[in-house]
Structure 1
């Protein structure tokens, strides 16, 4: 088993706000993040599998880049995650939820179209804050 990784970058804004809570509780729990704010995000996707003897690849990294861009980056870049992104509609736009939703999009495509397995979605919100999701 071998692992390959690709990184893509995008910019997007969000607001951490629970609509069922009063304003005071939102401000207490989410602090400054209860305001609309943006990030320079990094999406890092790791795929695992066996090396194809004909290509020497687990998965063509150009194909992985294209997939990440078409299915995620192009849909979220320069958006307001709370309102503009169909796959996040009705979901809380925390980094954790965002990473899980990205997994749900990419995992079946990688399995069915590329005969590989999605290993990890790593979503970096800030240099000091990131989430890793392994589909569990």
Structure 2
């Protein structure tokens, strides 16, 4: 078994807000990130898959196919979007780095042929990232 990681980038806006809290509570917990106009980030996504190396191709997965899956399932959906307003999973979940990693996992799980999803890492900025290893990890 070997691990293979592919990176992708997307830019998106978001804000932190819990509808069940008062405005004061949202600003107390989330600070300036509760500004409903939102703010943006240039995110970096790392998706790690695990599997066996094909003895003929030398690959765990078809790299072009993995790139296309990331583009279709994540980049085309998230890039240059306001996550709170335009991405369905964040209509009810706060688009924190942690929740973005979980949402991306759910979008990708089971969609990479001949490999198992191992880890989703989302960088909100170079010094802040979240790792998700799946629902049962």
Q: TM-score, normalised by structure 1?
A: 0.93
1:94 is aligned to: 96
Give the drift of 1:87. 3.6
Q: Deviations over 1:2-39 (max 9, x none)?
A: 11111110100001011111111111111111121110
1:4 is aligned to: 4
1:38 is aligned to: 40
Distance in 2 separating the partners of 1:87 and 1:17: 14
Deviating runs (4+, > 3 A) in structure 1? none
Q: Deviations over 1:76-113 (max 9, x none)?
A: 10001001012433222111111111111111112xxx
Distance in 2 separating the partners of 1:87 and 1:56: 36
Question: Are 2:119 and 1:120 aligned?
Answer: yes
Unaligned runs of 5+ in 1: none
1:109 is aligned to: 111
* Higher helix fraction (1 or 2): 1
The DSSP-based 3-state class of the residue aligned with 2:111 is helix
Between the two proteins, the alignment pairs up a number of residues equal to 133
Distance in 2 separating the partners of 1:22 and 1:131: 27
Taking only aligned residues, the RMSD between alpha carbons, in angstroms, comes to: 1.1
